[in-house]
Amino acid sequence: MEVTFELNGTNRTVDCAPYETLLALLRREGMVSVRFGSTSGETGASAVLIDGRLASSEVVLAVQAGGHSVTTVESLNTDGDLHPIQAAFAATGAMQSGYSVGAMVLGTLALLEHDPNPDENAIRDMLSGILDRETAYVKPVAAIQQAAAVLRGEEVEPFRPLMITPMTDGVNPIVLDPDDGPPIGSPAIPRVVPSKDVPTTAVVGQPEVKVDAFRLVKGNPAFTDDFEMRGLLYAKVLRSPYAHARIISIDDSAARALPGVHAVIHHGNVPRVKYASGGQSYPNPKPHDQVSFDNKVRHVGDRVAAVAAETVEIAQEACSLIEVTWEVLPAVFDELEALSGNAPVIHDENDTTDIADSSRNLVHRMDVERGDVEAALSTADHYYEQTFRVHQVQQCPIEPHISVAWLDSDERLVVRTATQVPFHTRRMLAPLIGRDIKDIRIIKPRIGGGFGVKQEMLIEDVVAHLAIATRRPVRLELSREEEFVSSRTRHPQTMTYRTGVNNDGVLVAQEMRLVGNTGPFGTHGFSVQAVAGLRGLTSYNAPNKRFDCEVAYTNIPVPGAYRGYGAPQALFGLECHMEDIAADLELDPIDFRRQNWAKTGDELNLAPHIGEQALVEGEFDEYPIVMSDGIEECVAQGARAIGWHRREDRLWREPAEQPHIRRGIGYAHAMHGTAIPFLDMGGCFIKLNDDGSFNMLVGAADLGTGADTVLGQIAAEVLGVPLDDIQVYSSDTDVTPFDTGAYASSTTYISGTAALKAAEVVRERLKERAAMLLDIKLPDAHLRVEGVTLEHHDDVEVFGCDVCSIELRDRRAYAPDGRSVSLEEIALDSLHLNDQEQIMGTGSYVSPTCPPPFGSTFVEIELDTETGQVTIHHMVMAVDCGVAINPVTASGQVEGGLLQALGYAHCEEFALDDDGRMLNAAFGPYWIYRADEMPRTDVFLVQTMEDSGPFGAKAVAEIPKDGVAPAIRNAIVNAVGVRINQLPFTPERVFDALTKD
């Protein structure tokens, strides 16, 4: 068919099929800013303006658009400059991955046409159709308000952090004054509570615009699907309708015969190579219980076969023509039932080793103890035991998994893929396709959200097998339903805490018994549960601790890595448990925690025993010590911002004019980790260009987190240049140095230190070349080690070294006597004129320490006692992440984490039927928070100086996930005195808990 419509002001006539969506046609016509989120259109990533009105192009047939005008973000890109709306989004850091920012910009355009001065409700209503997992909509609202002001001709304040006066001395608690209100103003503006120990810096700590902001707000090609490939084939995977079944036979003849089909693969024609798909360091934790295509399926949505064909529709039809004979087996979904000994055996194959007890579906058994917990519990003044259950949720990145594989001109296998772990993926893929690592290249472009679900070698093997079989490029994009049931989720768990406390409120012993549900595969199954034990038992001091854990196989959709990685689960149980103990002992909930929380100077007496792959027995010579903490300031800022004193105010909690309403405020403490010591490693390479700018190559994977920006800021600070002079490129296994990847809250701390070290190497050489140009002689005392590192003098005056005291700033090198030379002059001199060399530096870093970030989360809720409905009115988090290298991206990380944590606590859940089929594998039935219903969200970044981190940084990526669920649960206790020990707090569950009492 032909369709004629006006696209960005120009009439176009295009050929299309009747079934083609407007989204597909627009992308085909090069409008890559318009993106896929789901076929049902709620994500709004595909939204365009049709006759000036914002509409999801995923649910519009191309032919329906005939005779109408269609506008995409590309209409604003007529020259190099940004439209004021685009500029506002960039300036306010209103995007993390930016996958949906094109839709937000268009929506703003339409809104402001209609109303140049929209109120916040109108803005949030416009955003209601654009789902975002990353910003909590906080900064997008501010961006739109700023854009509106600019377009009205008003002056706007530059978007800068607000410095808040510290309330404490950093060590001691304060008594809150109820009349002391929190700072006013837009919650979008990052609030920083400075520490006097933190030095002033030029680029680090500044609200620099993200290095990828320009390409994102313009909708320029950036994501995996945005790059054209000639001769591309499309893959589809045939999925299991059964939770547990043997494949007796597969007949692919009809599928192969379908015109347009190029390959059909399944267990009959793909080698059986065992692996574990979790993106983790070598050697991947055992058991290796997966194969690319197995002769058994173990969850609804498990792989059966895959097809590569000329179009997605042909591939889909070919899948439906594959005839499978099944032997359906009984299935089990609950972790306790799976371990009972009466459940079907999920891994009964003979080629998987290192399953603890496959007959009981027991994958791992972990047990580690310090001291003697039973003895301590039996003699403690008070004994508490509580069990909690946490459930299955999905990461819901708006960009689903997507990979494209092809053979390059040397017939090496290249995969461009939305991955958090390009280097792990390269290593893990090699044996599956029978190639050496050196014959594989993985390229990570921009990613539309990961949150751990892309910390997996999930579909790269499928496209690789098909690309090799067909010798054509092959693309596989998961549907939204597949993203729910056939990718990865959070691990459900049943956990029991047992704690012994003495009359003085001090913990004497704490035990966590954990049963983790790892679904049908062990991927991340050990490590997530291990981290749960680590986080669940190190927040508080106790001389006797025990972690006792079983990990079970079941037939639920496969859990894997999800931001927080065991901590949100463990800290839900822990913070509810501690709250209840405090209540029983009639102690203030914060004071009780304060008596026991690990803080500066305390030893983390269990931490080294819990590793990524194994627990370690025996005593260590040394245990890590907490070197810095901002806990008291976090508590003070958070408590003031939420109005903590109202908890005790009965009149507030029980509003007379609304007798069915109860209000409450809840709190949770969190301590998290910063990278995995002795494991996470990253490398960086920096080189100087002719104009005095630098190229920086890092293996670190920016998933929208702002990693490229933060690493660039660190290098820029060392080299004395603006961020703009650092061109950051990440992450490509042929080009960039190794990096374990984006997980474990490690990028700023580990990859940032690698960037710092590489920049220091470059700085030293720049100083020496500057000395040459300024005719400053190198004294004998100036030591230089060939190759990589340089020795510094600590005391310049003793040696009187003029070279070392050369300073780099404002793109120049300044001698002590005030003379200077530009970096451009140094570049031209070194590259072209004298003693030519390429000034460059490398650095890599692995850390022996893991300095914990700390957080205080406060939540205010309202509860309808007649229906059980809980409404969250206000969320506050104060985080000590050391020094935030970029307060805008850091506060954005916290905001996005809080939105996901809110969903975890309040409304997100997998509803499985009795056969293990997910009933709500779509947005809507699986509800994620929209802009028009978000509670007010306030973030405070409390500075501490962490000496082991680059410019004082710790981590911020995951800790926001840890406190919301227990804070809401504790707010419910405050409101109605009811203790709910499972998630999520959906209306009927809360209603049942209320009426049970």
Partner 1 sequence: MPRAIAYHRPDSVEDAVALLNDNSHQPLAGGTVLNGDDDPTPVTMVDLQGCGLNGISGDAGRLRLGAMTTLHDMVNDDRVPTGLAGAAQAELPSTLRTLATVGGTVATGNADSILLAALLVHDARVELVGPGGYETLPLADLLKAGVAAGHVVTAVEFDPSGDCVRQSTARTPSDTPIVSATARNADDGVRLALTGMADHPVLTDPRDPTTGLEPISDFRGSADYRRKLAEVLTKRAVNAIGGVT
Q: Closer CB to partner 1, residue 42 or residue 477?
A: 42
* CA–CA separation, 224 and 399 (whole Å): 10
Q: At CA 791, angle to CA 785 and CA 793, rounded to 5?
A: 145
Beta carbons within 8 Å of 192's beta carbon, 6+ residues apart? 161, 162, 163, 164, 884, 887, 940, 941, 943
Q: Closer CB to partner 1, residue 56 or residue 403?
A: 56
User: Helix, strand, or coil here: 75?
Assistant: helix
What is the CB neighbour count within 10 angstroms for residue 391?
Answer: 18
- For 737, counting Cβ atoms within 10 Å of its Cβ (0-12 exposed, 13-18 middle, 19+ buried), the class is buried
Shortest approach of partner 1 to residue 755 CB, angstroms?
39
Q: Closer CB to partner 1, residue 136 or residue 534?
A: 136
Backbone angles phi, psi at 79, to 5 degrees: -140, -170
Shortest approach of partner 1 to residue 289 CB, angstroms?
30
Shortest approach of partner 1 to residue 126 CB, angstroms?
5
Joined tokens for residue 942: 């409390």
Radius of gyration, alpha carbons of the chain: 28
Shortest approach of partner 1 to residue 719 CB, angstroms?
44
Phi-psi region of 301 (alpha: psi -120 to 50; beta: other; left: phi over 0): left
- For 656, counting Cβ atoms within 10 Å of its Cβ (0-12 exposed, 13-18 middle, 19+ buried), the class is exposed
Q: Closer CB to partner 1, residue 43 or residue 544?
A: 43
Closest to 34 measured CA to CA, from 52, 18, 57: 57
Backbone angles phi, psi at 462, to 5 degrees: -65, -50
Q: Closer CB to partner 1, residue 398 or residue 615?
A: 398
| Terminal-residue alpha carbon distance, the chain | 65
Shortest approach of partner 1 to residue 131 CB, angstroms?
8
| Residues linked to residue 515 through DSSP beta bridges, in sequence order | 494, 550
Shortest approach of partner 1 to residue 211 CB, angstroms?
29
Residue at 409: amino acid letter:
S
DSSP state, residue 56: E
Q: Closer CB to partner 1, residue 114 or residue 365?
A: 114
Q: Closer CB to partner 1, residue 24 or residue 607?
A: 24
Shortest approach of partner 1 to residue 871 CB, angstroms?
6
Beta carbons within 8 Å of 502's beta carbon, 6+ residues apart? 380, 381, 382, 508
Q: Where do runs of H (alpha helix) occur along 174-259?
A: 213-218, 253-257
Q: Closer CB to partner 1, residue 130 or residue 665?
A: 130
Q: Closer CB to partner 1, residue 295 or residue 869?
A: 869
The answer to whether residues 891 and 883 touch, using CB atoms and an 8 Å cutoff, is no
What stretch of H or E contains 314?
Answer: helix 312-321
Shortest approach of partner 1 to residue 58 CB, angstroms?
8
Shortest approach of partner 1 to residue 40 CB, angstroms?
4
Q: Closer CB to partner 1, residue 125 or residue 349?
A: 125
Shortest approach of partner 1 to residue 88 CB, angstroms?
19
Q: Closer CB to partner 1, residue 320 or residue 379?
A: 320
Shortest approach of partner 1 to residue 47 CB, angstroms?
5
Shortest approach of partner 1 to residue 829 CB, angstroms?
56
Q: Closer CB to partner 1, residue 54 or residue 610?
A: 54
Number of residues written out for the chain: 997
Shortest approach of partner 1 to residue 44 CB, angstroms?
4
CA atoms within 13 A on the CB side of 814: 11
DSSP character string of 2-20: EEEEEETTEEEEEE--TT-
* CA–CA separation, 482 and 666 (whole Å): 36
Beta carbons within 8 Å of 621's beta carbon, 6+ residues apart? none
Residue appearing with tokens 């409700």: 121
DSSP state, residue 559: B
DSSP character string of 339-362: TSSSSPPS---SS----SBGGGTE
Beta carbons within 8 Å of 379's beta carbon, 6+ residues apart? 500, 508
Q: Closer CB to partner 1, residue 61 or residue 850?
A: 61
Q: Closer CB to partner 1, residue 783 or residue 919?
A: 919
Shortest approach of partner 1 to residue 919 CB, angstroms?
6
Q: Closer CB to partner 1, residue 461 or residue 482?
A: 482
The answer to whether residues 317 and 258 touch, using CB atoms and an 8 Å cutoff, is yes
Shortest approach of partner 1 to residue 913 CB, angstroms?
9
Q: Closer CB to partner 1, residue 237 or residue 428?
A: 237
| Strand ranges in 180-260 using DSSP code E only, listed in sequence order | 191-193, 233-239, 245-251
The answer to whether residues 909 and 393 touch, using CB atoms and an 8 Å cutoff, is yes
Q: Closer CB to partner 1, residue 129 or residue 301?
A: 129
Residues that bind partner 1 (CB under 8 A): 1, 17-19, 21, 39-42, 44, 47, 50, 53-56, 58-61, 63-64, 66, 103, 107, 125-130, 313, 316-317, 320, 479, 481, 864, 866-869, 871, 906-907, 909, 911, 919-920, 924, 927, 929-930, 932-933, 986-988, 991
Shortest approach of partner 1 to residue 569 CB, angstroms?
21
Q: Closer CB to partner 1, residue 318 or residue 714?
A: 318
Joined tokens for residue 240: 């299991």
The answer to whether residues 403 and 418 touch, using CB atoms and an 8 Å cutoff, is yes
* CA–CA separation, 960 and 488 (whole Å): 21
Strand-strand pairing, 382-390 and 296-297? unpaired
CA atoms within 13 A on the CB side of 616: 13
Shortest approach of partner 1 to residue 107 CB, angstroms?
7
* CA–CA separation, 417 and 399 (whole Å): 12
DSSP character string of 188-199: TSPEEE--TTSP
Shortest approach of partner 1 to residue 974 CB, angstroms?
21
